[in-house]
Amino acid sequence: MTATETGQAQTDVQRPDPDYMPFHAAPKRPDFVPPPGAVDAHCHVFGPAARFPFAPTRKYTPVDAPAETLFALRDHLGFARNVIVQATCHGSDNSAMLDAIARSDGRARGVAVVAKDVDDAELDRLHAGGVRGVRFNFLKRLVGNAPKDDYVRIAERIAARGWHIVVYFESAELADLEPFIRALPGTIVIDHMGRPEVADGPEGAGFARVLGLMASDPRFWIKVSCPERLTVAGPPYDDVVPFARRLVEAFPDRVLWGTDWPHPNMTSHMPDDGLLVDRIPAIAPTEALQRALLIDNPMRLYWPEEAGA
Ligand code: 0GY
């Protein structure tokens, strides 16, 4: 899957890491049919590197995962829209994501990563290009030491635009990070359920802290995504379902769902995206919960003009 749009291979300097796992080549067609208008609210595009080179500062070099492959997957899975989240391998150059959004016929929006000195013209350009939020990453493996001062400055800059902030951390870090995250302005979306330790079960201390954060302040939203990254048992991720279900039932109007395609940095196995979709009824067991998770919530956050919010 290193072929690019133009048929060239990724160049030497941009060649995928030798142990990098490519996305599933032929995911099943899900048995669960998402409601019409469903949104995959967390996915990425990578490259193609020949056109959109990866950042010199990146911590990994992935396999190309271009927009047309994402859109084909969207259709195959029965989804209508994507929220494309800027991944660290592209740094703060959002070109690949903006190009994908521009080619989506209005069916994609984005979450950007921006530099601390981003100017208003660039924020205007990103907004016009479909960006509705910024992502702050706290994973040392992905960004080293999180530049918190920069994040504060960026948060102040974007607050007036009605954008939200997406935060990515591991639950073990939350005790230290919580004061910082609580002090951020506006709506804050937590990636991947706050990455709980699934071995501790849903009663574990880390997940309790995530639940407490969600319960304490309606500005917090959360993505019930990434069972493949969190699981101990492996597919079909029965050990992760109770975490997601608890969040969906407790906070039905502040949860989002996403594939996380193309699943960067997976080392144990590569998930079948069709199977991920098939787990949705287990985490959102009623049609009302499914509708909120897959349509109403993401539309409110990313297409408010269509959601009537
Ligand atoms: C994810 C998870 C990961 C990667 C990134 O920005 C990224 O590079 O988010 C990860 O490695 O856990 O959300 O895609």
Q: What CATH code is carried by the domain that includes residue 205? A: 3.20.20.140
pLDDT digits (tens, 9 = 90+) for 174-194: 999 999 999 999 999 999 999
Examine the pLDDT at 252 and tell me if it is beyond 60: yes
In this predicted structure, what is the pLDDT of residue 216?
98
CB distance 265 to ligand 1 below 6 Å: yes
> Model-level pTM?
0.95
Q: Which atom of ligand 1 is nearest to the CA of 135?
A: 6
Examine the pLDDT at 228 and tell me if it is beyond 80: yes
In this predicted structure, what is the pLDDT of residue 6?
44
The count of domains in the chain is 1
Q: Which atom of ligand 1 is nearest to the CA of 44?
A: 14
Which residues span the domain enclosing 52? Answer: 3-21+34-302
Assess contact for 211 and 251: CB atoms under 8 A. Answer: no
Examine the pLDDT at 20 and tell me if it is beyond 70: yes
> 3-class SS at 91?
coil
Residue nearest to atom 7 of ligand 1 (CA): 87
Examine the pLDDT at 53 and tell me if it is beyond 70: yes
Q: Which residues are catalytic?
A: 260
CB distance 62 to ligand 1 below 6 Å: no
Q: Which atom of ligand 1 is nearest to the CA of 141?
A: 11
pLDDT digits (tens, 9 = 90+) for 83-139: 999 999 999 999 999 999 999 999 999 999 999 999 999 999 999 999 999 999 999
What is the pLDDT of the chain when averaged over all its residues?
94
- For residue 90, being part of any structural domain is answered with yes
Residue nearest to atom 13 of ligand 1 (CA): 260
Question: Two tokens at 121?
Answer: 């013209």
Examine the pLDDT at 65 and tell me if it is beyond 70: yes
- Cα of 308 from ligand 1 centre, angstroms: 31
CB distance 143 to ligand 1 below 6 Å: no
What span, in angstroms and rounded, lies between the C-alpha atoms of 18 and 12?
Answer: 12
- For residue 65, being part of any structural domain is answered with yes
What span, in angstroms and rounded, lies between the C-alpha atoms of 81 and 38?
Answer: 7
Q: What average pLDDT does range 52-67 have in this prediction? A: 96
